[in-house]
Structure 1
């Protein structure tokens, strides 16, 4: 039976990490192992992880791609699950992941992500993000869409096989943004990208910081610029790092 490792990249996530770790520890069946990969937090993030009995790995450089690759090296499962520190997962995630990847034609799978805080769901933003999964490939890369390309982002809890992940070189550590979408491109060489019809919940911290109107413009702009081929390094200036 496939063993699922959960990898959580962190940087100053004290406000969110404990809640996420509680959902991880409530999994039934449990994950094979859980690795928090910290990029140099100056708050209590690592203390929280240690206190929860979670393995913590430190990287000398902060960067989501760098941290997730290091976590993949340290994890020992046959399946790799990349989880953001502010995302809540269902208790049956392990079974759902095994079921999704039981099909050898699937190279990667991810969930429907809803942005939520204080019991309130941001339906407009969540719907736009869901439409992006199918709509962006269909509009900008229709030939790849027909081959099974779907655009997943990190808040959708991406899951892939360990050997498949490393066969395409893992995450591109030179990318400051959209390393998840880039991975989907690479994994398409190994099989289809699947959207699991189950929900995970991510924090709406960026929407609260920006406001709904700015968030809509930001997310649409990034999607369009991605479709037009703008390098992620240039897009980074539009995407603030909010904790």
Structure 2
């Protein structure tokens, strides 16, 4: 299958080149970078990359909006959505092939920090994806184009777009969790603290399940 890797960005100048490089090294047919108004040179760095497989898109801000816009332009039969501060393993596409091109799913993670708390997070995130078929964006969610379209694609929202898409995709079939690991920047846990960030994530998921809108959740997250 032809694989399109889609990367949403906002002020990711320090990460974008390594992120795109990880996608190209594992054999992506194209990488579509969807920028939501960066002011730090993210888009300029991306546009300066010499590989013809890299495409750039200016989109309104909001991760769901950016992902949806890029997916509409992507030409691959398999769409793989990669956060800018994540890195794909070199054999990511080979893992997809060996699994006979799963309908949708994600990868196990390795958070780039030492300590049992991070290993616990990795285990919990893998459990959530494998048992509950709830795949988060930093697990490099992937979906066959047909399934993505049947599920309605990413909602044009600023938060919870991954949870919303997972909910629709698991109506089609359970998620497949591949070994990975996708390397994940630990910055948000290090900035807020592992426990505080985890409790915030749980609070947001609980509020969403109770009917809070993505805009309301965005305000909670930013505070």
Q: Which range, TM-score by smaller chain?
A: 0.7 to 0.9
SS in structure 2 at match of 1:57: strand
SS in structure 1 at match of 2:93: helix
User: Counterpart of 1:113?
Assistant: 109
SS in structure 2 at match of 1:239: helix
What is the CA-CA distance between 1:229 and the residue it aligns to? Answer: 4.9
User: Counterpart of 1:124?
Assistant: 117
Are 1:74 and 2:73 matched, yes or no?
yes
Matches within 5 A, 1:32-181: 32-53=29-50, 54-59=54-59, 61-100=60-99, 102=101, 106-116=102-112, 120-121=113-114, 123-128=116-121, 130-132=123-125, 134-135=127-128, 149-173=132-156, 175-181=157-163
RMSD of aligned Cα (Å): 2.3
The gaps in structure 1 that reach 5 residues or longer are 138-144
SS in structure 2 at match of 1:9: strand
CA distance in 1, matches of 2:125, 2:21: 29
Asked if 2 retains the 8 angstrom alpha-carbon contact of 1:133 and 1:151, the reply is no
The gaps in structure 2 that reach 5 residues or longer are none
Asked if 2 retains the 8 angstrom alpha-carbon contact of 1:13 and 1:85, the reply is yes
CA distance in 1, matches of 2:116, 2:15: 21
Number of residue pairs aligned between Structure 1 and Structure 2: 220
Asked if 1 retains the 8 angstrom alpha-carbon contact of 2:92 and 2:180, the reply is no
Asked if 2 retains the 8 angstrom alpha-carbon contact of 1:38 and 1:67, the reply is yes
Asked if 2 retains the 8 angstrom alpha-carbon contact of 1:8 and 1:82, the reply is yes
CA distance in 1, matches of 2:84, 2:167: 24
What is the CA-CA distance between 1:158 and the residue it aligns to? Answer: 0.5
What is the CA-CA distance between 1:4 and the residue it aligns to? Answer: 0.6
Gap change, CA 1:123 and 1:83, over 3 Å in 2? farther
SS in structure 2 at match of 1:198: strand
Query: With structure 2 as the length reference, what TM-score do the two structures score?
Result: 0.88
User: Counterpart of 2:185?
Assistant: 203
What is the CA-CA distance between 1:115 and the residue it aligns to? Answer: 2.1
Query: With structure 1 as the length reference, what TM-score do the two structures score?
Result: 0.81
